[in-house]
Chains A and B, each alone.
Chain A
Amino acid sequence: MTAPTPLLEAKGLVKRYGRVTALDHCDFDLLPGEILAVIGDNGAGKSTLIKALSGAIRPNAGEILLNGSPVQFDSPNDARAAGIETVYQTLAMSPALSIADNMFMGRELRMPGLMGKLFRKLDRKRMEDFSRQKLAELGLMTIQNIHQPVETLSGGQRQGVAVARAAAFGSSVVILDEPTAALGVKESRRVLDLIQEVRARGIPIILISHNMPHVFEVADRVHVHRLGRRLCVIDPKQHSMSDAVAYMTGAAVPEGVAEPV
C-alpha cells in the first residue's frame, strides 16, 4: 500500500520567538484534492504553522516541499507565486476599494500595447470580467456590481469575495484561516459550500477552524496540533468530535502516540 505523494509537505519545522518555541519539529502533509482541517488549542502553534506554509514567516529549521521538491518562501508573494493562496482571518482587503480592485490587488493587469507599457494604464474591463466570472463560478453573485466598495458588503459576502480571490489564483493550495469564525449560521453554511465547490475543482484546501461540526462535516482528514507539533492525523469518519477535542486538549492520547512531556 503506497500513500499518494503529498502535494504540500513540511518536515521538522521549528520556529522560535525568543524563548518560546511555537513550532517544535512539526511535520505536516496535504494530499492532492483533499480538505485537511487543522485543529488545536489556542497557542498550539496552528497560526505559526500556517504562516510558515504561506510565506508570512520563515521557520528557523525544517523544510517545506511542494510537489516533492523543496521550496523556500521568503514572503507571502513567494508562496503566492507557487500557487498557494491564503484567506487570512482578517481577509486582507481594502474596504474603500471595489471588489475587482481587491481581487487583483498586487497583481493588476495592464492594458496591452502602448497605453499599458508607457502609461501603465490598468485594464479595468479585463479585471472586472474576470472577477465577475470567478464570483459567478462559485455561485456567489446574483446581481453583480463589481464596482461596489468591499465595505458595503456583509461579512459573509466579504468572506465570499476573499475565498473567490484565493480560488481564482490559488492553482495548487488554498489556505483558509478561521473562515467561519465571524459569520452567522447561514453565512457559515454558504462558506462551507464554497469550500466544497473549490475542492470539487481539484484544489486541495487547508482549513483552520475551531468549529468542530464544520470541521467534521467537510474535512477528509483532521490534523490535530498540540504543543507546537502534529499530535496525530485522524479520520473524521472513524473518530468523534469528543475524541478530537480530547486529543487536542491533552485529555486523551491517541493510540500509538507518546505524549510529549
Chain B
Amino acid sequence: MASADPFEDVVKSRREEGFAEFEPTRKGLWGRFHEALHTTPALVPLIVLLAALVVFGVLLGGKFFSPFALTLILQQVQIVGVLAAAQALIILTAGIDLSVGAVAVLCSVLMGQITFRYGVPAVAAVPIGLAAGTAIGAVNGWLVSRIKLPPFIVTLGMWQIVLAVNYLYSRNETIRARDIETQAPFLQVLGTKFTLGGAVLTLGVVLMLAVVLGLAYALRSTAWGRHVYAVGDDPEAAQLAGVDRHKTLMSVYMLVGFICGLAGWVMIGRYGSVSPSATTGVIGNIQAITAVVIGGISLFGGRGSILGAFFGALIVGVFELGLRMSGADPQWTYLLIGVLIIAAVTIDQWIRKVTQ
C-alpha cells in the first residue's frame, strides 16, 4: 500500500554521477591563486609587505635596506604589534575591542604607581599589572558572553572607564624615565637593546614576536584555536557541535586583557617613562584595528590569521619609516593607510567568494 508513484526511481539507477566528488572544479593559475588566498589568508598582507619593502628599497637604496633601518621598523611597531595580536583574537570571534590601548596604558600606570607609590618591588608590580589587564578582559568577556551585549558597546564603555580610572588613579602624574632607571629598572627591562649583526633589537621586539608566534601556533594547532574560529564563524553551530561558547569567549577576552598588560609593559621599555596621557590610550585601538584589517582578518569573524595582523602592523611601520626617510609629508602615510584599509576589505570580500 505504501508504494507511491516511483517518480524518484530514475535517480536510483543513475546516481554515480558525482554526488560527492571533491575534485576542484576551477583550475588554472587564477583559480589556484584564489584558492591559495582562501586557504592562506596571510598571503595578501605578506605580498603587500614585500612589495612595499621593494618599492622603498629601490627609492631609498641602502639607507632603507640596512639591518638598522629594518629593525627600527620592528622597534617602532612593537606596541602596536602586540595590541594588534590581541585585537586579532577578538576580531576572530566576530567581536571588536576598543579598549585595548586604554587597558595597556592603565596597566603600565599600575605597574609604575604600584612600585613608586607603595614601594612594591617591580618584579611583583609587573604581574599585578598583568593580572589587572586580565581582570578587565574578564569583565569585557563576561558582559559579551553572558549578558550578550555587543562587543562594540561593551568595549566603547570600557575604553572610557579605563581611561578615566587611569587619570584618576595616577592623578595625571608621569613617572620620569630617570627615576625608573635608578629605582626600578626591571620595569624598563623590555627596552633592553642588543645587536644581532648590525640589527638593533629590544627585548620588547622579542616579546612581540613570541606573542605572535605563540598565538599563531595555538590558533592553528590546538583545539582551543579551532574553537575560537568556530565560535567566530557561527556561534550557534559551534555550540551544537559541542564547543563551549562561553568558555571560549571568556578565555579569549581574558587572554586579550593579559596581552594588553604585556603591551603596557612594552610601553615602559619603549618610552622609559610611565605616562597616563600616552597616546596609545586614545589611538591604540584604532591602530590595532587598522593593522588587523590590513592584515586580512575578516571583521565578520572566523577568517584570517594572526600572522596577517602582524604583517599589517609591519606594513604600517614600513610606510611610516619609508615615507619619512624620503621626506614626504606625513599626511601621505595616513592617506596610503586609508587606501590600504579599503583595498584590504575589498580583497577580503573577493576571497570570501567561494565559487564564481
Assess the B1–A239 pair: CB atoms within 8 A.
yes
A101 within 8 A of B: yes
Assess the B2–A236 pair: CB atoms within 8 A.
yes
Of the listed residues B2, B4, B24, B38, the one surrounded by the most CB atoms of chain A closer than 10 A to its CB is B2
A133 within 8 A of B: no
Cα separation A185 to B14 with both chains bound (whole Å): 12
Q: How far is the CB of A48 from chain B (nearest CB, A)?
A: 16
Q: Which of A92, A140, A213, A240 lies in contact with B240, CB distance below 8 A?
A: A92
Query: Which residue of chain A is the closest to B301 with respect to CB atoms?
Result: A96
A252 within 8 A of B: no
Known A236-B2, A241-B4; judge A105-B226 contact (CB<8 A). Answer: yes
Q: Which chain A residues border B223 with CB–CB below 8 Å?
A: 108, 110, 120, 122
B21 within 8 A of A: yes
Assess the A93–B237 pair: CB atoms within 8 A.
yes
Q: Which chain B residues border A105 with CB–CB below 8 Å?
A: 226-227, 230, 238, 241-243
Known A105-B242, A186-B15; judge A94-B1 contact (CB<8 A). Answer: no
A143 within 8 A of B: yes
Known A120-B222, A122-B223, A152-B354; judge A141-B242 contact (CB<8 A). Answer: no
Q: Which of B11, B18, B23, B226 lies in contact with A97, CB distance below 8 A?
A: B226
Assess the B20–A90 pair: CB atoms within 8 A.
no
B30 within 8 A of A: no
Query: Which residue of chain A is the closest to B35 with respect to CB atoms?
Result: A152
Assess the B1–A96 pair: CB atoms within 8 A.
no
Of the listed residues A120, A140, A141, A216, the one surrounded by the most CB atoms of chain B closer than 10 A to its CB is A120
Cα separation A238 to B17 with both chains bound (whole Å): 35
Query: Which residue of chain A is the closest to B9 with respect to CB atoms?
Result: A189
Q: Which chain B residues border A239 with CB–CB below 8 Å?
A: 1-2
B118 within 8 A of A: no
Assess the B242–A107 pair: CB atoms within 8 A.
yes
Assess the B243–A106 pair: CB atoms within 8 A.
yes
Assess the B302–A94 pair: CB atoms within 8 A.
yes
Known A94-B234, A186-B11, A237-B1; judge A88-B224 contact (CB<8 A). Answer: no
Query: Which B208-243 residues sit within 8 Å CB-CB of chain A?
Result: 217-218, 221-224, 226-227, 229-230, 233-234, 236-243
Query: Which residue of chain A is the closest to B21 with respect to CB atoms?
Result: A142
A121 within 8 A of B: yes
A5 within 8 A of B: no
Q: Which chain A residues border B355 with CB–CB below 8 Å?
A: 152
Assess the A77–B236 pair: CB atoms within 8 A.
no
Assess the A122–B229 pair: CB atoms within 8 A.
no
Residues 134-146 of A, flagged 1 when their CB comes within 8 A of B and 0 if not, give 0000001111110
Cα separation A124 to B39 with both chains bound (whole Å): 16
Q: Which of A88, A91, A189 lies in contact with B8, CB distance below 8 A?
A: A189
Interface residues of A (CB under 8 A from B): 56, 76-77, 80, 86, 88, 90-97, 101-102, 105-108, 110, 119-122, 124, 140-145, 147-149, 151-153, 156-157, 160, 185-190, 193, 212-213, 216, 236-241
23 residue pairs A–B, Cβ–Cβ below 8 Å: A76-B242, A86-B240, A94-B238, A95-B234, A97-B233, A101-B230, A102-B241, A105-B242, A108-B226, A119-B217, A119-B221, A120-B224, A121-B221, A122-B226, A141-B20, A141-B22, A142-B22, A142-B23, A143-B23, A152-B355, A156-B19, A213-B8, A240-B2
